[in-house]
Amino acid sequence: MRLTAEEEAIRAGRRGEPARRALEMQLAVGDFFGAERMVPVTSAHLTGDPESMGEAGLAFVEDLVRQGARFVVPATTNSCNVDFDLYRSLGQPEEVAEKERRLRALITAMGGTLLTSCANYQALGPPAFGESLAWGDTGAVIYANAVCGARSNFEGGPASYAAALTGRVPAYGMHLDACRRGTHLVQVRDQPRCVSDWGALGVFVGRQLTNYWLVPVFSGIEAAPDADALKHLGATLASYGSLAMFHIVGVTPEARTLDEAFGGRPPRETIAVEPGALERTYSSFVPEKPEVDVVVFGTPHLSIEEIRRLAALLDGATVNPRTMLLLTTSAPIKAMADREGRTRVIEAAGGRIAVGVCYYIMSPREMARRHGLRTIVTDSAKLANIIAAYGYNPIFRPTARCVEAAVAGRIPR
């Protein structure tokens, strides 16, 4: 790889041992992917929570701090494992909270910002078109690439820390024009009508395109999606298909026309989303029993608009006493919900809003054991995909039907 004078200085250790080690790691990654140079980034979004990184990951970060590591670009944190106000009542082990405290102290020592959100673009504002990033959460990355026109690969675990220490990443994948162009045409004839329908569309396509290097181009969309719809579509494509980029003709910034989306090349294949496809996608999540143990909203984190809709649906209702209702969001959005009185309405109905967490990293096995949880109902297709690995029976349904399930304690037909 061609290195600048500054990068050569980092490699020589003149910015300290942590930055030198980080750059060597990045050069190895760059060599693997055939990168010819590095590209400066404006921010890093750190992945790696104590639940997923384990003791080895914590030791890696502790070693960086011992060597005096400091981040050189703004670095925010992804979702965390515990809400310190709720974790005891939710049945999360004390050791999980202790690891969370350790990691937070380490990140703060390196100059990071404890945002604890998987929707950082809604908590702090989206990146600009053309901005190069080193973000880690897959849902945040695909949103930045597709919706904002910024550029980032999935910088997972140590890679996101390395980027925060050097301020650059290897120039491969989504940093290159050629990798951002469409590969598959998706003709949509079953129109999404609500946020969760966009998730269902993501499931339908993500189950067929399971390769990071593929880029679906959606055409035939009749009504432009809002930010939450795009958030759910992207997060679902990233979860089911490991995709990092998509286009919607006439909506996303690099797809003003079909020809621009494909860069003048023909699509490799065409996928047709025929009428009824979205409803069949919901039906593919089959309940083992009619009773509902837990209803969860917020993967990715809820926006204020989503909380407003949920508060309206729950206003005057009462959640079934045998069913847990949990919403997850970021601290800035929770503060807005508090000020607007939405939190009070949701709590009066029997729900709780947890801050900074996503359910699938909240020690879900321990919570299931403590509360006898098995059937989980959610309007998040991403959560429905992941949580099955923790022994849950996930049921993906539209938002209103999830609220009905929470109130009735049973899955509506």
- Number of alpha carbons in the 13 Å side-chain half-sphere of residue 331: 13
Of 248, 138, 275, 122, the C-alpha closest to 193 is 275
- pTM score over 0.95: yes
What does the pLDDT average to over 368-372? 93
For position 51, what pLDDT does the model report? 84
Looking at every residue in the chain, the average pLDDT score rounds to 97
Residue 271, beta-bridge partner list = 186
- Number of alpha carbons in the 13 Å side-chain half-sphere of residue 228: 21
pLDDT digits (tens, 9 = 90+) for 376-411: 999 999 999 999 999 999 999 999 999 999 999 999
For position 214, what pLDDT does the model report? 98
For position 385, what pLDDT does the model report? 98
For position 3, what pLDDT does the model report? 98
For position 149, what pLDDT does the model report? 98
- Number of alpha carbons in the 13 Å side-chain half-sphere of residue 324: 20
Amino acid at position 396, single letter: F
For position 368, what pLDDT does the model report? 95
The answer, yes or no, to whether residue 48 has pLDDT greater than 90, is no
For position 52, what pLDDT does the model report? 85
Cis peptide before 300 (omega within 30 of 0): yes
Question: Using 50, 70 and 90 to split pLDDT, how confident is the model at 130?
Answer: very high
Q: Who contacts 91 (Cβ-Cβ below 8 Å, separation ≥6)?
A: 366, 367, 369, 370, 371
What does the pLDDT average to over 54-78? 96
What does the pLDDT average to over 101-129? 96
Question: Using 50, 70 and 90 to split pLDDT, how confident is the model at 412?
Answer: confident
pLDDT digits (tens, 9 = 90+) for 148-157: 999 999 998 8
Stated length of the chain: 413
The answer, yes or no, to whether residue 68 has pLDDT greater than 80, is yes
Report d(CA 69, CA 63) in Å as an integer: 9
The answer, yes or no, to whether residue 325 has pLDDT greater than 80, is yes
What does the pLDDT average to over 183-188? 98
Contact in structure between 176 and 156 (CB atoms under 8 Å): no
pLDDT digits (tens, 9 = 90+) for 17-47: 999 999 999 999 999 999 999 999 999 999 9
